[in-house]
Structure 1
Amino acid sequence: MNAPVQPDPRPDAYATPIERIDVSDPHLYQDDTWRPWFERLRREDPVHWCENGMYGAFWSVTRYRDIMAVDTNHTAFSSDALLGGIVLRDLPMDFRRPSFISTDPPKHDAQRKIVAPIVAPMNLRNLSGTIRERAGRILDTLPRGETFDWVDRVSVELTTQMLATLFDVPFEERRMLTDWSNVATVNTRAGTEIDSEAKRNAVLDQAVAYFTDLWHQRAGQPPRPDLISMLAHGEATRDLPSRPHEFMGNLLLLIVGGNDTTRNSISGGLLALNQFPDQYRKLRANPALVTGMVPETIRWQTPVIHMRRTALADTEVAGKTIRRGQKVAMWYLSGNRDEDAIERPDDFIIDRARPRQHLSFGFGIHRCVGNRLAEMQLTILWEEILKRDWPMIEVVGEPTRVYSNLLRSISALPVRIPAA
């Protein structure tokens, strides 16, 4: 991959007065220039107050151990949508969509418990054969010796097929789920046609109508092992349609959680292997290393850039006093590059001794419920790629990254599988 020469972001990162550093700017992630900014914060001001941020005043927590301290302390740091939820941008109350990830116990625990069986070990075993068959079929349709978009042909397609199974929606309608996921997560300042919360909600109302019909169908049938049926029959969730914002919030959480994070790890993994071709060669020589490569990929990509909390009481973190009501951003992307927690964190190393030592799934009560499903999809995909004994899949152009400070998304990745 012959990448164009990019301006070095390091001089700006170190010349800017530290009180003016605002790592909430989505351009840092769209332009992939975030590294030196977080490097400086971790070294000089790891719990950093930004007074005039793009999304208001907030604290940045940038070191691994401090992020862990916040993430595991839900009694001091709230996820409740009524207090602001899990992202830095503050929405008017009319546009807030509560879900179990943006609620606190006991409501959080009761709702999360309803959907947890979808990723129980027995169900994952049942899904593994389906994923393997679909991954093989996707790979066997890819062209050889031609440039194509890995994101659309592989990353999106595999995860969207999985979503169709988890929700038990008609297979031919699966791409609607991807479209709704994209609309739900798009930054309204990104310059797309979705430039306001009103426009976003107008599109997502279609999703609500679609799932309301499915909900009523499943509620009138015996319980089935799909997410809609689980929610429709769950004691803590069966009345969700009577609360439209919460209904939409939980559906979008499951769609985004089951789609965006995995698909961006699939894309980011191939990109990382091209940036570290010695690791790609090592993997091809020893396919058993895929079991360590998958969690390393999830650390390296860090598909969720940040999560926000709101302080419920004055609380000290690393010597700084965070006041009640203040916003706190846990920068998982920075924590996964913390030199004090992870050896050689800027290197992609597929045979690390402790590959699951990362923050990408979060910790505490909000740890990603689908983490094992995500790992399984990545593992099976790479097992199937390696079985085909292809030459190294080449990234032949720069990735197109999304304007977002929430999801580290790759919307296009041109690649080529050599013909021989």
Structure 2
Amino acid sequence: MNQIADMPDAVETPLDQIDFSDPRLLKDDSWHEYFARLRDESPVHYQAESPFGPFWSITRFEDIVAVDSNFQDFSSEPTIIIGEVGEEIPAEMFIAMDPPKHDVQRKAVQGVVAPKNLEEMEGLIRTRVQEALDDLPVGETFDWVEKVSINITTQMLATLFGFPFEDRAKLTYWSDIAAAGPQMTGGDIDPQERFDGLMECLATFTQLWHDRKAQNDDGFDLISMLQRDPATADMVDRPMEYMGNLLLLIVGGNDTTRNSMTGGVLALNQNPAEYDKLRADQSLIPSMVSEIIRWQTPLAHMRRRATRDIEFGGQQIKKDDKVVMWYMSGNRDERSIENANEFIIDRANPRHHIAFGFGIHRCMGNRLAEMQLRILWEEIMLRFSHIEVMGEPTRVNSNFVKGYETLPVRVHPL
């Protein structure tokens, strides 16, 4: 699936000769000029050939909002990634459903991130963040992704699922392989390894379901909530639907937060004047968190399917065409966001971004992600004068997850 030819020149190459689905655009962080050209020259762009089949690219902020808020004409079914899920694991998940089924399944688990529950989680999150930061090797270079981003988010996932804490590394692994198939997002995982891993995930969570049912307590974890809701009480008997929604919640709870935890450190190092602003005024942390999420845009795209022939942006989109909303491009659209290509932690309207999506599929856990990032930076600023990036990051090989594998850093105490 991964092409080995050199990437075409971003400025000189005709647009119809560029593959905008190539995962190297994200892995090399070379996507900016390519997508700026699309926004300027062809904001509703048809790509006739790609390893994932033909598709439309939607790259401007307002156009993405229009597609994302119109599920009648642009369906989430059968999947929200640019490629195909594959028939070997036909998982179903509510983000890849339309109303009314989407609404029923989302409602069953929405309560886990209700304001009251978030308040109760805050103390636990803070304690875990404090422990993770206190364990960092001051004066030594280490991998921020492993020691902080993965560590903290995986602990939170284990809590949300009531998952055995000592086995929580499995959650990270299952999240990493969920959408990493070559035919799905251009990833490089072996399909058999992915199949085996996801079957282990399903078996583990099926056992957890039955154990939780036998306990018959009033737990507030995601499995207990699925069991209590009449619409999802028998979901374990629909294994592909159960696994699909588990993977959605695992990836959703992992990727946004984990990659924004890393992306924020990198952005502040690339923009030292903003780091100075933060040191001078830590009340900027909440707005900085929103800016980090916009700047990072942890999921690069979401896909829709046209339900009918429709004219959009002056183009004729045919029924069943793939329509790909490039969130990372929309978040850099100067038409809708002033100085969109600059990292500014005290923006006037920092939540004006589409990193969480828009409309009925807007990220369910957005407030939880923001809270974890806020707490992380509050605790960082109590301990360290500077988190210094010591080398280039390595990025995930995917056209969907815009994330990091490693980031070498060194922390300097106050």
What percentage of residue pairs aligned between the two structures are identical? 56
Matched, 1:47 2:44: yes
In 2, distance between residues paired with 1:34 and 1:18? 13
Alignment partner, residue 6 of structure 1: none
Q: Is the 8 A contact 2:181 2:194 kept in 1?
A: no
Q: Distance in 2 between matches of 1:191 and 1:296?
A: 28
- Could you tell me how far apart the structure 2 residues matched to 1:156 and 1:355 are? 25
Partner of 2:385: 391
> What is the Cα deviation at residue 241 of structure 1?
2.0
Letter in 2 for 1:106: P
1-structure distance, mates of 2:286, 2:85:
40
Contact 2:178 2:247 in 1 (8 A): yes
Mapping for residues 2-401 of structure 1, pairs under 5 Å: 12-81=9-78, 85-188=79-182, 192=188, 194-196=189-191, 198-220=192-214, 221-388=216-383, 390-401=384-395
The root-mean-square deviation of aligned C-alpha atoms, in Å, is 1.5
Instruction: Kindly state the Cα deviation for residue 148 of structure 1 after the two structures are TM-superposed.
Output: 0.3
Cα pair distance change 1:361/1:125, threshold 3 Å: same
Unmatched runs of 5 consecutive residues or more in structure 1: 1-8
| Matches of 2:182 and 2:75, distance apart in 1 | 25
Give the drift of 1:191.
7.3
Report the residue type matching 1:211 in the other structure: F
Q: What's the CA shift for 1:144?
A: 1.0
CA distance in 2, matches of 1:95, 1:61: 29
The answer to whether the 8 Å contact 1:187/1:403 transfers is no
Distance 1:103 1:134 in 2: 35
CA contact (8 A) 2:386 2:413 kept: no
Q: Distance in 2 between matches of 1:68 and 1:96?
A: 29
TM-score (norm: length of structure 1): 0.94
TM-score of the two chains, using structure 2 as the length reference: 0.95
CA distance in 1, matches of 2:58, 2:142: 39
User: 1: CA distance between counterparts of 2:349 and 2:90?
Assistant: 38
> Separation in 1 of the partners of 2:202 and 2:86?
20
CA shift for structure 1 position 62 = 0.2
Distance of 2:160 and 2:232 partners within structure 1: 17
Residue range with higher mean Cα deviation, 47-56 or 95-104: 95-104
Q: CA deviation at 1:419?
A: 5.7
Contact 2:187–2:398 under 8 Å retained in 1: no
1:207 and 1:91 map into 2 onto residues whose CA distance is: 17
Cα pair 1:80 1:98 within 8 Å, conserved: no
**Partner SS for 1:208:** helix
Relative to structure 1, is the Cα distance of residues 20 and 351 closer, same or farther in structure 2, using a 3 angstrom cutoff?
Answer: same
Q: Which runs of 5+ in 2 are unaligned?
A: 1-6
CA contact (8 A) 2:187 2:397 kept: no
Corresponding letter in the other structure for 2:299 = V
Which residue identity lines up with residue 107 of structure 1 in the other structure? K
* Shift, 1:232, TM fit: 2.0
